[in-house]
Amino acid sequence: MAAAHAMLDEIHETLPMHVDDSNAYILGNIKQHNIVVACLPEGRYGLNNAANVLTHLVRTFSSIRAGLMVGIGGGVPSKTDIRLGDIVVGTRVMQYDLGKIVGDGQMQHTAIPKISQQLLGTAVSSLRARHEREGSRILSILREKFKEHSEYRRPASADCLFLSTYDHVSQTSACDECDHSKLVRRRIRETDDPLIHYGAIASGNQVMRSGTQRDSIARQLDVICFEMEAAGLMDILPCLPIRGICDYLDSHKNKEWQRYAAAAAASYARELLTVLPVAEARVKATYMPNPCKLSLVVLRSCLDYCGSHPACRSRSIEPATVKSCLLGIWNCTR
């Protein structure tokens, strides 16, 4: 959650939660948008765990307007030239482990492509157009928000991509003993700035550590990134997946690039919010007796979060105009 925390302009007070809600939340704002941040439990990943987090969240916070699924993913080497630290914005989500086994033993994928809300798609198009005119602010956001967190800086280690058929040889995660003649030759980039790629994302419950399997599924589904949560969210709330690339999904993968990749994805999410329109919603304010102990001032600034909370005892007072709420779900490691 550290990357999400660093992106917030302000942190809001914690509010009472639904008695059955086991999530941990950070409440705050970015620009004029109120934000609810939730994180998957430590050591848990996959579609079911992601769906559980979101199910609790939308029940507790009923004014959610849009969802961003921000975190890390694995990149598919292809003509898009994805590198470690780059960002993939999902134009659609495909669950790659859903299907049926046919006569020759092959998997026939049956998942239907899922896309995010039109609101988010429009914002992505707007930001993409601005980037073409003015360039991205991601690097400046990274420097500003993580200047005191050296662990989120770009790693000094080389970005090595091995042939998909060449497996890791060492018992450790380092590739010092691997045959560097098996490296894929790629052009040298003029800058280390994260590049943004737009394309389909494959989502499933399996941890991918095979270059050949990666390439096979990527060809079948025409995807440029793999991750393990988004497909579990799309039927509950059509979120926009934003992934920082931390590995290539092969046997050489390690965790060295995960923090930087998470920070890069979070930086894109923050910049996206600058082009997302702020919606006004008229709701009734709610009186909250003890043990909530919230002043009316705090209450009015957080109406999106607590308006339908079961701990609240509703009593109509003058309606207040408030900003709609945005959701961020973040994952960091896998």
Pick the residue with more confidence: 197 or 333? 197
- 8 A C-beta contact, residue 283 and residue 257: no
Q: How confident is the model at residue 11 (pLDDT cuts 50, 70, 90)?
A: very high
Diameter over CA atoms, the chain: 72
Q: Phi/psi at 67 (nearest 5 deg)?
A: -130, 135
Kind of pairing, strands 25-30 and 87-95? unpaired
Q: Is the pLDDT of residue 311 over 70?
A: no
Amino acid (1-letter code) at residue 137: R
CB neighbour list of residue 333: distance below 8 Å, 6 or more residues apart: 72, 255, 258
Question: Which sequence spans correspond to the domains of the chain?
Answer: 2-99+106-151+190-330
Give the range among 193-197, 239-243, 322-326, 329-333 with minimum mean pLDDT.
322-326
Superfamily of the domain at 2-99+106-151+190-330: Nucleoside phosphorylase domain (3.40.50.1580)
Q: Is the pLDDT of residue 85 over 80?
A: yes
Q: Is the pLDDT of residue 25 over 70?
A: yes
Mean pLDDT (the chain) is 84
pLDDT in tens, 255-304: 999 999 999 999 999 999 999 998 765 444 444 444 333 222 332 233 34
Instruction: Please tell me the total number of residues recorded for the chain in this structure.
Output: 334
Which DSSP letter does residue 114 get?
B
CA R_g for the chain: 21
Pick the residue with more confidence: 73 or 61? 73
Torsion sign across C-alpha atoms 275, 280, 284, 289: positive
- 8 A C-beta contact, residue 7 and residue 262: no
- 8 A C-beta contact, residue 58 and residue 239: no
Q: How far apart are the C-alpha atoms of 216 and 210, rounded to whole Å? A: 10
Angle made by CA atoms 178, 182, 185, in degrees to the nearest 5: 125
- 8 A C-beta contact, residue 238 and residue 116: yes
What is the predicted pLDDT for the residue at 58?
Answer: 92
Across the range 131-159, mean pLDDT stands at 94
- Residue 35's CB is within 10 A of a number of other CB atoms, namely 28
